[in-house]
Chain A
Amino acid sequence: MARGHEAFPRRWRLLRDPPAGAARNMAVDEALARCREEGVGVLRIYRWARPSLSFGRNQSARRVYEPAAFGPLGAEVVRRPTGGREVLHDRELTYSLVLPLRTPGGLREVYHLVNRALAEALASVGIGGARLATPSTRTPSPDAGACFREPAAGEVEVGGRKVAGSAQVRMGDTLLQHGSLLLAPSSLSLGALVRDGLPSGTVPEQEGVTLEELLGGAVAFPRIAAAVEAALAGTLGGRWSRDALTPVEEELARELEERYRSPEWIWRR
């Protein structure tokens, strides 16, 4: 929620991180948000070391997913600081953006601007027809099924199938938004992670469409990352430069990682 309005940051830090564990990825996103400097925004592009399921901040997970199912499958599980529903992160590009709340239009305008930029990025790599979903007549609750199952209003879809999903959290006067572009199908299915005896028809599925399918062939991560960076830089303006975590951010990320790793947080609902 905005407090008055100010322009987008004049300076942007661009971090492109190697694949990392699920708790580390969430901890770094939160550390970047907690350490935000006035007038400086952050775009982080990252990947996941192993297939990882992330729950939305307030999503009920315990009644659907089996905590013991993840380890034997080489998968991880984490709960995000942001809203929305579960996402299976595997062969995808994930981004996070950190910026002040006091930007023109506030939370919702940032959401739409970023999604428009993602649609432009897709167009720049040869995927036509990406558009923003129109408002649905019903409002999905945090327990309404996997995030990629259907596009929410303003999210990027191609032919009615969701291609990018994003979520936000307000932390004091800072906005953290992160989201995913599916590059290729995961080797894992959500059905392998659920509790025994879940009624048929209630087993979640991650649907959506991958860039591999849309492009008809293998997708090079660096190419998509460059397209996303260019589109967001063009949309948000300012001066962009490559950067890394500061020592303070690194220390905070290490502290936060413990929380994101804890069963009390992951399985809180």
Chain B
Amino acid sequence: MASKNLTLFNRIRDSDIYFSFIKSPTAIVSTIILLIIFFCSFFVEFVTPYNPFDPSSLSLMDAFTPPSWTEDGLARFILGTDGQGRDMLATILYGSRISLIVGFSAVIFALVLGVALGLTAGYFGGKYEMIVMRLTDVQLTVPSILMALLVDGIARGIISRELHDEMAIYVLIFAIGISEWPQFARVSRAATLVEKNKDYVSASTIIGVSNLIIMFKHILPNILRPVLVIGTIGLALAIIAEATLSFLGVGVPPTTPSLGTLIRLGNDFLFSGEWWITFFPAIFLVILAFSINLLGDWMRDTLNPKLN
């Protein structure tokens, strides 16, 4: 086992991807930032002593405390507090967790659905392929944000109002996921068409390997690179989409606020001068999306030899 791991490690160390990674400061910095954000968001209970959703721990006396470095700031609230006296940093981290959960789930949903349809469409071709591709065509003409809004609107009509808040997060994941799958389907179909015509696939067919195994053992690993790039960029898009929907008031409810909800709630205080309530969640969101995009951009340049 040990020797096997070693060779895998050596392979990684020898690979061009690793080389280009350690040569790219932006890739390293964005990865570090992302790791910190992921860690702090998922282990937020251990990172901050405050729980913004425990009413007993809140005091309205603390409401609207500005950031600690300003004149009226308090050292215990680094980024200040909001209208209910909740610590901004803790609120943001809890919100970021929701945003990340929604983002990741939506992308994984879109990825699995898109790759499954794209791979099979590219492999089998014929009428099935045509139907899948027409479907993506039609859906791609409907911008993702509109698609998500629509799904959300329909869900509101179907699900009763009381249930809706509980279901909101699932509806959101579904809405964003469904708006992103065509990208994955197109990319994986295009890549499958290229791979399908390569001789190693013919060789397996001639040997007698079944279609299912050819698709998942042979083709799938070979189309993962572009899918991964789309997935990374898609993650940023999903997080932004979630924030946007929540900002528009059709995303997660204020009881479990995501970054977008926080920005929307803070926006009301912008004109009265409490800028930090909306500013910090917004900056946090931008840093998060920017880091993911930087990483995705680097991945695209590295994994796409055509443009080097």
Partners in one complex: no
